[in-house]
């Protein structure tokens, strides 16, 4: 079998390494910025699961998904950021490699990510992978600090029966699972995604908006003033769909980063001037809230404010253009307004 890994950050590279190590499939990885370095020297991996590996190389590396379109892939493991309002949608990114029968594993944050995938690739089975893993790539070095823990299941498909979907999930689990990592079949992928959103919609968002790590936000009272109220709204939206997020999840999530000065991914993106996964983390839940008439004043406010931050990031990347050339020199300094 053939697997394509798209999104070779900390999560994607441990996935690629794991799939290749297990020896049940050929692994192709899309490597962009560090392509030449990797081609020459491979990756250096320092992993709590697998120890230190020098100069590891995927079976094949390509510079783009397009370059891999000569091959049929049984699975595409997609672990890029999901930023539909950015340079490219995930559907556009994987499109060149999706053929009839290709299964796409969405190892990404957020909710409703599978919907545009299903619309664009109606013949593909879409699996959901929710990864708990502390893994980061710096250039050609990967440091995996937390054990790999993957929950894998399938999204229901209007034209494919549940047994076929289940078998596809089990096939991927068989490729991925080994004696070191923890891979569990997840019968409720949507509930799992709601649970993870308790963290992402409340904690990622707040830290990015104020540019402070988890512990500092907590020192400022952010847990009770902003994050718990935001979490309660995620509970309410999930509930409106029939999902009961267990009560204890909120306190686990609120306290999980205590004392570690942890920098969530959205804050990392913000600090690096990269666009944030705002739509799949806040935009999509709020669409569901609107449909189901769930009041979400806190999440709505965070979304409105972060959309403005996202606008600035877009402008910095040339994705939007504001013509302030004429007015700016005067008005930005002492224009019409109140001090």
Q: Where on the chain is the footprint of its own copies (CB under 8 A)?
A: 10-11, 109, 131-136, 143, 145-146, 196, 199-200, 203, 206, 209-217, 219-222, 225-226, 253, 256-257, 259-265, 297-298, 300-301, 304-305, 307-309, 311-312, 315, 322, 324, 327-328, 330-339
Helices 189-199 and 248-255: angle between axes, nearest 10 degrees: 50
- Min separation Cβ 261 and its own copies, Å: 5
- Min separation Cβ 61 and its own copies, Å: 23
Q: Going by DSSP bridges, is the β-strand pair 182-185/149-154 parallel, antiparallel, or unpaired?
A: parallel
- Min separation Cβ 100 and its own copies, Å: 32
- Min separation Cβ 188 and its own copies, Å: 18
3 state DSSP class of 255: helix
Q: Which residue has the tokens 């250096």?
A: 44
- Min separation Cβ 199 and its own copies, Å: 5
Closer to its own copies at the Cβ: 18 or 171?
18
Token pair in block for residue 184: 């569990």
Closer to its own copies at the Cβ: 259 or 318?
259
Nearest to 182, CA basis, from 2, 10, 18: 18
Closer to its own copies at the Cβ: 88 or 219?
219
Contact (Cβ atoms closer than 8 angstroms) between residue 42 and residue 57? yes
HSE, side-chain direction, 13 A CA sphere, residue 37: 10
User: What CA–CA distance (Å, rounded) separates 303 from 266?
Assistant: 13
* Segment holding 61, helix H or strand E: strand 60-62
Token pair in block for residue 21: 């190590």
- Min separation Cβ 65 and its own copies, Å: 22
Closer to its own copies at the Cβ: 62 or 208?
208
Closer to its own copies at the Cβ: 293 or 336?
336
User: What CA–CA distance (Å, rounded) separates 157 from 122?
Assistant: 9
Closer to its own copies at the Cβ: 68 or 106?
106
Cα dihedral: 163, 188, 86, 75 (round 10):
-30
Burial of 335 (0-12, 13-18, 19+ CB in 10 A): exposed
> What is the chain's Cα-based Rg?
21
Closer to its own copies at the Cβ: 72 or 261?
261
- Min separation Cβ 121 and its own copies, Å: 25
């Amino acid at each position: 079998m053939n697997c394509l890994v798209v999104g070779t950050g900390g999560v994607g590279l441990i996935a690629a390494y794991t799939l290749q190590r297990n020896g049940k499939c050929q692994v192709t990885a899309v490597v962009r910025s560090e392509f030449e370095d990797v081609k020459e020297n491979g990756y250096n991996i320092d992993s709590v699961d697998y120890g230190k590996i020098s100069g590891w190389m995927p079976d094949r590396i390509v510079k783009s998904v397009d370059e891999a379109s000569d091959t049929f892939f049984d699975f595409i493991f997609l672990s890029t950021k999901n930023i539909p309002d950015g340079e490219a949608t995930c559907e556009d990114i994987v499109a060149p490699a999706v053929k009839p029968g290709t299964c796409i594993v969405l190892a990404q944050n957020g909710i409703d990510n599978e919907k545009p995938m299903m619309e664009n690739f109606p013949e593909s089975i879409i699996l959901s992978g929710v990864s708990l893993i502390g893994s980061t790539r710096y250039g050609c070095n990967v440091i995996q600090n937390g054990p790999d823990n993957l929950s894998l299941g399938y999204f229901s498909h209007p034209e494919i029966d549940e047994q076929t979907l289940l078998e596809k999930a089990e096939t991927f689990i068989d490729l991925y699972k080994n004696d070191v990592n923890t891979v569990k079949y997840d019968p409720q992928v949507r509930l799992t995604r709601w649970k993870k959103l308790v963290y992402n919609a409340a904690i990622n968002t707040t830290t990015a908006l104020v540019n402070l790590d988890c512990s500092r936000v907590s020192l400022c009272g952010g847990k009770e003033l902003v994050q718990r109220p935001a979490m309660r709204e995620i509970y309410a939206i999930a509930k409106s769909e029939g999902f009961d997020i267990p009560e204890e999840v909120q306190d686990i999530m609120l306290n999980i980063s205590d004392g570690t000065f942890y920098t969530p991914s959205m804050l990392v993106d913000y600090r690096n001037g990269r666009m944030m996964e705002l739509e799949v983390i806040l935009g999509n839940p709020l669409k569901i809230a609107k449909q189901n008439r769930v009041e979400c004043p806190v999440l709505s406010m965070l979304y409105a404010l972060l959309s403005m931050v996202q606008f600035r990031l877009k402008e910095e990347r040339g994705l939007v253009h504001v013509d302030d050339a004429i007015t700016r020199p005067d008005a930005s300094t002492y224009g019409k307004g109140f001090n």
